Copies of this chain bind each other. A is one copy, B any other.
Amino acid sequence: MVTIPARRKRATIHDVAVEAGVSRGTVSRVVNDEPYVSSSARIAIEAAIEKVGYVPNNAARSLVMQRSEAVGFIVHEPHSLFLDDPNIGGILLGANTVLSRADYQMVSLVIDSQRDTDRVARYLSGGFVDGVVIVSARHEDPITKVIGKLRLPAAFVGHPPDLQELPFVGIDNRASARAITERLMQTGRRRIGMVAAALDRDSGADRLAGFTDALGDRFDPALVTRVPLYTFNDGAMGMRELLQRDPLIDGVFAASDAVAAGALEALRDAGRSVPGDVGIVGFDDSSWALRTQPHLSTVHQPAFGLGAAAAECVLSQLRGEEQPTGGILLETPIVWRDSA
């Protein structure tokens, strides 16, 4: 065992000022490199900073400046999904890239319990961040409430369930689902079903709606199975049920690539070939799409772009610019590979 030495007291501007034989004001000017500092003073101060090991104290700075130069990135996903969801990483990187360029520190806060929710709400209230990007908000979310109450500059990725007046960026799940289903129909499939997932969310419900839009008269409710999550396992389960309901099914729209991958496994277990016996399409164009055999035809979801756009949106609010009403919808090209 070894005792960690107590953290030694940190040097302050005062220490630097004394060391350099100037006033604190001048030191501050050097630190924030403002003009009107003689080069002799600057040199002395820089040496002093080095000598006493001064690092500015953000708390003090942000107290007086009334801002923190940080933007929160809130992820609110159930445990399991967070590990799986291929989009979150891209969104996060997109947001970070934009914020970084503007010299804002992105701090991600993950919410994984009720306790987390409360603590994060406090954290946001406390002025530790100047704005916030929110992924997958919940209905009646305390976080959303706090943001509204504080008028904290915010942008949602995906459609916020309530509070429609807050800015968001997203994709048109319904139109995209319709488009890929139509594309699937064009390949000549006769009995097309869907493994629908996450119907408690807008994205899940919209994808199903787009599917029924595309099918029109040909829509058969019996050919839709519903599973709770966008996961591999749920996909396999949903597909097995679909196969049971109609062994002759020859086309499937899976609500996400992970679901499609699971479905693919169920199909393989049932001895069906893809795309020979059945054509299948997914949604997301995540890393799943290239891991499956055959590679998935799917809807490209611009994860990075979503994160970047949300971050831009927060920054523009921070600059006090006017906001376009309503949300921003990004394009979702269809990428056609081998699974259908």
Which residues of chain A have a CB within 8 Å of any CB of chain B? Answer: 1-8, 10, 53, 55-63, 68, 70, 79, 82-84, 86, 89-90, 92-93, 96-97, 100-101, 103, 105-110, 112-113, 115-116, 119-120, 122-123, 125-128, 149-153, 232, 261, 265, 268, 287, 290-291, 293, 317, 320, 322-325
**What chain B residues lie within 8 Å of A59 (beta carbons)?**
59-60, 62-63, 68, 126-128
Determine the residue in chain B with the shortest Cβ distance to A105.
B123
* Inter-subunit contact B287/A268 (CB<8 Å): no
Q: Are B55 and A126 in contact (CB under 8 A)?
A: yes
**Pick the contact of A126 from B1, B56, B119 — CB < 8 Å?**
B56
* Nearest CB of B to A60, in Å: 5
A227 CA / B62 CA spacing, docked (Å): 46
- Of B58, B123, B232, B323, which one neighbours A123 at CB under 8 angstroms? B58
A83-B86, A113-B100, A322-B1 as given contacts; A126 in contact with B293, CB under 8 Å = no
Partner of A110, one of B84, B103, B108: B108
Name A90's closest neighbour in chain B (CB-CB).
Answer: B83
| Copies of this protein chain in the complex | 2
> Does B127 lie within 8 Å of A58, measured CB to CB?
yes
Chain B residues contacting A127 (CB-CB under 8 Å) are: 10, 57-59
A93 in contact with B119 given A3-B322, A56-B126, A291-B261 (CB within 8 Å)? no
Q: In the bound complex, how far is the Cα of B105 from the Cα of A184, in angstroms?
A: 47
**In the complex the two chains form, what is the Cα distance from A123 to B71 in whole Å?**
12
Cα distance A290–B291 when bound, in Å?
12
Which residues of the other chain, B, contact A123 by a CB distance below 8 angstroms? 58, 70, 105
Alpha-carbon gap, A106 to B120, bound state (A): 9
